[in-house]
Copies of this chain bind each other. A is one copy, B any other.
Amino acid sequence: MAAGETKETIWHGGDLATAKALFPQAPKPWIDLSTGINPIPYPLPELPLSLWQRLPGTAEEAMLLAAAREAYRARPESGVVAAPGTQILIELLPRLVPAANVAVLGPTYGEHAPAWRKVGAEVREIADFAEVGDANVVVLVNPNNPDGRIVACETLVELAGALAARGGLLVVDEAFADFAPEMSLLPTLPEGALVLRSFGKAYGLAGLRLGFAIGEPRLTDALHTMLGPWAVAGPALHVGAVALRDAAWLSTTAEARAADAGRLDALLAPLGRVVGGAVLYRLLEMSRAASLFERLGRAGVYVRRFQHDPSRLRFGLPGDEAAWARLADALASA
């Protein structure tokens, strides 16, 4: 079995091939609620053929970075680097911080800890910052995935300062911060902190592959050097620049998705306890989560289960009334 053909061992949402294999008899089309991706995407702007034909130019890249700086309210002295998705930044970052002792605030997105382990770092999952100990790298997702826990900026500023004092780094993955901009660390980004931002989730265009790292230019420059020129596709540069300048779409969408999240909570409430989540996903705790996962799967509704916590399921937002109806039916028969 060759590279790229190997089985993923970390569970993720979004790969319908897994759902199809688990529930081959399920009615079509699949309702995929297994991700935290906005189901109603930013409307694609027209994409001139030249975006596909030409190597992405430095001018286009500069326009995207300027739009990202403004949308994310980055400090002028912060460096910004764009990548084909945040995931590759998660993979490459550990190669910049040698022999790290890493604490990941968890449970959280499954890819952070392995990326550090791959380069030989010692990685602990901690439940609270009181357990940071002598870690020189601390990673958190804020708001957290899947439970939506938010750590306040003041706490992060203090932690980043402590880490910076010993040459360490605080990594804040703000993949789900677009609809809660007031909690972003970026406008007050302290020394010793690096923030990751994902484009695809809030804008509903995860297949585009676009993400950013924002922090000390020393680090963002080094990431840019590792990626090399032209890492982001021409269409992604353009769509990103257009969408990130569209503040009106973002605020309208934030309201609409928050209303959807409330509607989802109401559907889930009779089945268990909604213990958290962000605007784009809700986390349900219930004693018979495994059996609900099965029942939903057989009804063609794919939700996110967790390898290490069989009592929880994460639900993304349905994207249209047909999907809402099928979800409601499947839950009602559960």
Contact = CB atoms under 8 A, between A and B. Distances in A.
A91 B226 contact: yes
A14 B15 CA distance: 36
A217 B2 contact: yes
B87 A17 contact: no
Contacts of A107: none
A44 B52 contact: yes
A51 B208 CA distance: 8
A135 B87 CA distance: 34
A57 interface: yes
A52 B208 contact: yes
Chain B CB within 10 A, most for which of A15, A49, A80: A15
A171 B236 CA distance: 30
Contacts of A49: 41, 44
A319 B8 CA distance: 43
Interface string A90-116: 111001000000000000000100010
Contacts of A58: 8, 15, 17
B229 A12 contact: yes
Contact of A65 (B2, B65, B206, B226): B2
A22 interface: no
A248 interface: no
Contacts of A115: 228
Given A226-B91, A232-B209, A55 B79 contact: no
Interface string A106-136: 0000010001001000000000000000000
A142 B90 CA distance: 33
A33 to B, nearest CB: 13
Interface residues of A, number: 73
A87 B229 contact: yes
A289 interface: no
A207 B87 contact: no
Nearest to A64: B4
A54 to B, nearest CB: 5
A222 to B, nearest CB: 8
Interface in A1-59: 1-6, 8, 12, 14-17, 32, 35, 37, 39, 41, 44, 49-59
Contacts of A84: 84, 209, 231-233
Nearest to A233: B209
Given A53-B37, A54-B14, A55-B206, A231 B87 contact: yes
A332 to B, nearest CB: 27
A65 B3 CA distance: 9
Given A55-B207, A207-B53, A225-B118, A233 B231 contact: no
A85 interface: yes
Contact of A235 (B2, B221, B225, B235): B235
